Amino acid sequence: MKKDFMSSMREKTSSLPTSLLSTEENIKSQIQILDQLRDLIPPLADEEYRQLQQNILKHGVKDPLTVWETSSTVLHLDEENRPVYVLIDGHNRYQISQEHKLDYRINLLRFTSLEEAKDYMIDFQLGRRNLSPEQIAYLRGLRYLQQKTMRGGNKFSTNSIVNASVALGKEYGVSSRTIKRDGDFAAGLDKLNPEQKQQILTGKKKVARSAIEAMAKTDLVESDAVADEGNLLVKTSRKAVGEDPVKKLEIAIRELASGTLSRKTCERLLLKTNELLTLLQAK
């Protein structure tokens, strides 16, 4: 976490406008939820959600919901530049409030772009103390993947990858290698169907992390993955392979990752993955 993170966020917080057109109640009625932002937040386990609901029903919504005050132009919805209010933090509290018709307060934040809003959400989640190691790795991995994209285009650029992993490693107090593995973990999880991804992040299903990381190196077009006794079994529809060596390696890696990960299998998996990376970097 950056030392001045909270102070920088306070600078972004704005008091609610006093204009009749922008009252708190009017803003509440216009709150929108973007799937890509909601999915950045690690899901609560069933028991955690029930406990939160009981606390809210007993004591009300104590903490305000955080809303991004932006425009339809910034979100690329249209060119009308109309005001848009996007929920950034408090999705579970919002859902419970809507179900039980409870009142709540809101804080407004302003960001210049969707990428800046995502960075804030990831950092804010990482500042919480109740995250599992898998959830922490996933969030750090998302930051890494986003940083690579923002650093200039070629996702296989060695300098871009090294710079992003080193910078984030220093920020979170881990090695650059850990950050890169987190990136593979996040990319692999995002190739699973939403239900499976949630089950892994909440700990309902235990899957070998190496298998999930290996999925990031494959070219899955559509996947339906299920966890079975710690292994990741993937059914996937894929493009025609033909004689393409990259496609062949992707299939080989996927098949190795879907089986039992013995020492010998892991060694073969690493070998195939290195071969694939060499081919991709040569393109």
DSSP for 52-77, please give it: HHHHHHHH---SPEEEEEEETTTTTS
Q: What is the pLDDT of residue 232?
A: 52
Task: For residues 68 and 19, give the distance between their C-alpha atoms in angstroms, rounded to a whole number.
Answer: 18
23 DSSP assignment: -
- Count of helix runs (H) and strand runs (E) in the chain: 13, 7
Cα radius of gyration rounded to whole Å, the chain: 21
Alpha-carbon separation of residue 254 from 220, 227, 236, 261 (angstroms): 9, 14, 10, 12
Residues in the chain where the model's pLDDT stays below 70: 1-22, 150-162, 219-243, 258-259, 281-283
Q: What is the pLDDT of residue 52?
A: 95
Q: What is the pLDDT of residue 137?
A: 95
Q: What is the pLDDT of residue 277?
A: 78
Residue-wise pLDDT tens digits, 110-142: 999 999 999 999 989 888 778 889 999 999 999
Q: What is the pLDDT of residue 222?
A: 45
